[in-house]
Structure 1
Amino acid sequence: MIQSSLFQSLIELTSDAVFIVRVQSSGKEFVMEYVNPAYLKKFGVTEESVIGKEFKDMLRSSIIDAIRLRFIECVEKGHSISFEEDFEDGTASLSELFPITDDNGLIHYVVGISKNITELKNKRDQIAASEKTLQSIINSSDNVLIYMDTDFCIKYANRKAQEHAIKMFGAPFLVGERLTKYYPESDQALAQEHKKMLEKQKSTVSHEHMITYPDGEKKWFLRRYYGVFDDNGTLSGLVIASINITERKEQEIQIQKHVDALKEIAKIQSHEIRRPVANIIGLTDLMDFQQKTIEENEQILQYLRMSAQELDQMISRIVDKTQFPDT
């Protein structure tokens, strides 16, 4: 008796709407047997308007079928079910139905509890909206972004990552598969090394690499590994951000070509060009139209011509180097 009074007091005092319905013999119709004060307040009804009433006598025709089907499901399955409801006044509830069986396993009653989750739902909607916004921002990035667990199993890949996967492998990345299965063997070892560095140093690890797509296109990427750490500082996940640096890399290659060309020009000017110039100067000094025979002077002229041709070839090489070809 004391326990019964205690339970009744708890039900009367709770802010959650509690109700009990009796299951008709058909198992398809239900009669309201009990409602607590919170139920009356929540739905703005009186005991007289609901107690002893079938659903068709107490509910709006637009919602009778949906509610009846939930109770039928609870009875037929023989276990509790839960569902969320949104109401016209802007509130939301999480309701649970529990079948009550007798000693023979027959269900004669269903107990329902309806909890106001308006604030929780609003917060959940806000979080969902924030996540959607964040995902939109991530998907709009020109960088390849992939989130994985510590075993390199993919948890999320943004739109750019999926475009890269389709172009490289002919299919998108799948959540749950290991990213490292796509890596060459050398890169698999490097990925494990980067993971160890993250665990030890707890700082970003990065390296540059070139990718050749099946269609022959080549791209350079700066791949950065970021660690995701829990409150204890333990590595719980990895984020890879691959930035397309092809344009920068091509510029660096062109600059290096220019530097190499300038070095070659400096080498020609400082060393090789001196030889034919010195020869020309020396041969010019040797020429003497009064003291030397015609044959001797012609021999000197022949050497001068050869040195001049050599000098001309070197000048042409310098001119070629100053063109800085792109290939």
Structure 2
Amino acid sequence: MFNPNPAANGNCTIVFDIDEQKYLFVSESFYSLFEVGADHLRQSVDFLIGLVKPETFAGIKQLTDGLAMNESIQMTYHLEAGQKQLTEKRTLAADGLTGHKIILSNITSALDGVHTLIPFSRPGLSEQFLNSLIDSQTNFLVRIDINGKFSFANRRFFKTFGYDEADIIGHHFSKTTIPQDAQLCQDAFVDCINNPGKIIRLAHKKPAKDGSLYDTEWEFVSIADGNGSVVEIQGIGRDITPQMQMREEALQMKDSLEALINNTQDHIWSIDKELRYMYMNQAYVEQVTHLTGVKPYKGQYSYKHEGFSRQVTDDWTVYYNRALSGERYDIISESTDPVSGQRLYYEVSFNPIYTAGGDVIGVGCFGHNITDRLKIQKELVGQNERLRNIASLSSHELRRPVASMLGLIGLMDHEDFYNPENKEIIAHLFTVSAEIDTAIRLVVDSTIAK
């Protein structure tokens, strides 16, 4: 019946049934204005108990007990917690629906007031005021008899769902219930009948007259007569469609992000200040399971299960603590595939996770497999080394015999080929040719990766 969500208003309205000793209505702003939780009203028959000094409470009670029907008092008091000053106009009236005596309290902050009696100017105004109060609320107010038929609904209910009184009053509550929620609503109704005074909460989709659906949230409580027999059920509800739409959009966004994260081969995980896993994507879970034979799970201490060696545990504890101290950095992590025996290399970045206040509450980690990249880099380094070797061979081992050959050719007697000296030169040319062949073989061998 009471909505624990505070509003930011500086005033509120409270309606208390004296005969039933329970609250009929409390503005949402009550909780923020008095700085209390929802349990405060459930534990007190007077909302000021424990909030003002005992002597102040005694004075207010005396003034309230002395009120005549349709009379009011206006008073100012300070709350003990926070020293907030409030002005309350308290009126004794009659509930136009039940005839019970009720106390209407209109409370505002930071107003000067005096303990004075302010009588109503004409009879019946209290009932008009209560009806106006009920119809001006942004929440729904309905009453249902023990046969499950509507006996009352406020203006907000009719305006939101598009019904007329003739469509609702005297009709069973199932008229405003979709088939999927019929049993849920019936169970709440029976629970309320069987538990007088107990607040029954219910959230369900309610159809409007035009067929559109609204997400609603309700609190129902049974109303008993003087003999303790339940005669009606009163419900206060609110439209939570915008909140549910936002929640649905947030869930869809979360699912899309989750799908994106789990469809990457990169490893993504996070840990809290105690080094326990807060999140792991599918690629990370699968890789850790493959490397260690033990599947990690959320809440487990990272790198501390039996699949990791003590050295690995110590190393990662150091890595995490560096990030928890606010450092953002990268490392190269090396491991061995237990099946293929291949060395695996991952570039891992550590990123501190901060609160809005700037405190580090965890670490987000991103790992990318760079095994192939390092392999290519190694091949490029080897290729460059071979090219340098080829250049060296070309400039030394090959150029020397070529220069010798050119010199010998220049010494030959081109006029008299049968000159005896040419025979000796040709012999030297054969020797130089063998040296050139050897150098060429060295060049060819250097181009082949070993």
TM-score, structure 1 normalization: 0.69
Instruction: Determine which of 119, 136, 148 is the counterpart of 1:30.
Output: 148
**Separation in structure 2 between the aligned mates of residue 130 and residue 124 of structure 1, nearest angstrom:** 10
Q: Residue 95 of structure 1 contacts residue 112 of structure 1 at CA under 8 Å; is this kept in 2?
A: no
CA 1:114–1:139: 2 relative to 1, 3 Å: same
C-alpha displacement of 1:241: 0.7
> Could you report, residue by residue, the CA deviation over 1:79-113 in whole angstroms, capped at 9, with x for unpaired residues?
42231316465452322233337599875543222
Residue 344 of structure 2 aligns with an amino acid whose one-letter code is: K
Indicate the residue corresponding to 1:100 in structure 2: 222
Instruction: Determine which of 259, 280, 302 is the counterpart of 1:157.
Output: 280
Q: Residue 188 of structure 2 contacts residue 202 of structure 2 at CA under 8 Å; is this kept in 1?
A: no
SS of equivalent to 2:149: strand
Q: How many residues align?
A: 284
CA 1:258–1:107: 2 relative to 1, 3 Å: farther
CA 1:5–1:42: 2 relative to 1, 3 Å: farther
C-alpha displacement of 1:253: 3.2
Match runs of 1:79-158 below 5 Å: 79-85=199-205, 87=207, 89-100=211-222, 108-158=231-281
SS of equivalent to 2:233: strand
C-alpha displacement of 1:136: 2.3
CA 1:262–1:156: 2 relative to 1, 3 Å: same
**Separation in structure 2 between the aligned mates of residue 165 and residue 193 of structure 1, nearest angstrom:** 19
CA 1:132–1:115: 2 relative to 1, 3 Å: same
Q: Residue 92 of structure 1 contacts residue 121 of structure 1 at CA under 8 Å; is this kept in 2?
A: no
**Between 45-54 and 216-225, the greater mean CA deviation after superposition:** 45-54
Instruction: Determine which of 154, 167, 170 is the counterpart of 2:290.
Output: 167
Higher helix proportion: 1
> Larger relative contact order (C-alpha < 8 A, sep ≥ 6)?
1
**Separation in structure 2 between the aligned mates of residue 208 and residue 10 of structure 1, nearest angstrom:** 68
Match runs of 1:296-311 below 5 Å: none
Indicate the residue corresponding to 1:283 in structure 2: none
Instruction: Determine which of 330, 333, 346 is the counterpart of 1:206.
Output: 330
C-alpha displacement of 1:17: 1.1
For structure 2, which runs of at least 5 residues remain unmatched after alignment? 1-91, 94-100, 106-129, 402-436
**Separation in structure 2 between the aligned mates of residue 50 and residue 70 of structure 1, nearest angstrom:** 19
SS of equivalent to 1:191: helix
C-alpha displacement of 1:5: 6.7
**Between 64-73 and 115-124, the greater mean CA deviation after superposition:** 64-73
**Separation in structure 2 between the aligned mates of residue 115 and residue 61 of structure 1, nearest angstrom:** 17
**Separation in structure 1 between the aligned mates of residue 291 and residue 364 of structure 2, nearest angstrom:** 20
**Separation in structure 2 between the aligned mates of residue 22 and residue 246 of structure 1, nearest angstrom:** 73
SS of equivalent to 2:142: strand
C-alpha displacement of 1:128: 2.0
C-alpha displacement of 1:229: 0.7
CA 1:45–1:166: 2 relative to 1, 3 Å: same
> Could you report, residue by residue, the CA deviation over 1:250-275 in whole angstroms, capped at 9, with x for unpaired residues?
123334555777899999999xx9xx
Q: Residue 177 of structure 2 contacts residue 205 of structure 2 at CA under 8 Å; is this kept in 1?
A: no
Alignment of 1:67 with 2:185, yes or no, is: yes
Indicate the residue corresponding to 2:134 in structure 1: 11
Residue 102 of structure 2 aligns with an amino acid whose one-letter code is: S
For structure 1, which runs of at least 5 residues remain unmatched after alignment? 24-28, 278-311
**Separation in structure 1 between the aligned mates of residue 391 and residue 218 of structure 2, nearest angstrom:** 86
Indicate the residue corresponding to 1:223 in structure 2: 348
**Separation in structure 2 between the aligned mates of residue 105 and residue 13 of structure 1, nearest angstrom:** 31
CA 1:214–1:126: 2 relative to 1, 3 Å: same
Residue 18 of structure 1 aligns with an amino acid whose one-letter code is: L
Which aligned segments of 4 or more residues in structure 1 are displaced greater than 6 angstroms? Answer: 103-106, 259-270, 312-319
C-alpha displacement of 1:60: 7.1
CA 1:144–1:73: 2 relative to 1, 3 Å: farther
Residue 36 of structure 1 aligns with an amino acid whose one-letter code is: N
Q: Residue 99 of structure 1 contacts residue 107 of structure 1 at CA under 8 Å; is this kept in 2?
A: no
CA 1:318–1:35: 2 relative to 1, 3 Å: same
Alignment of 1:43 with 2:43, yes or no, is: no
> Could you report, residue by residue, the CA deviation over 1:38-85 in whole angstroms, capped at 9, with x for unpaired residues?
1222233333443344446x5579465553233224445754223131
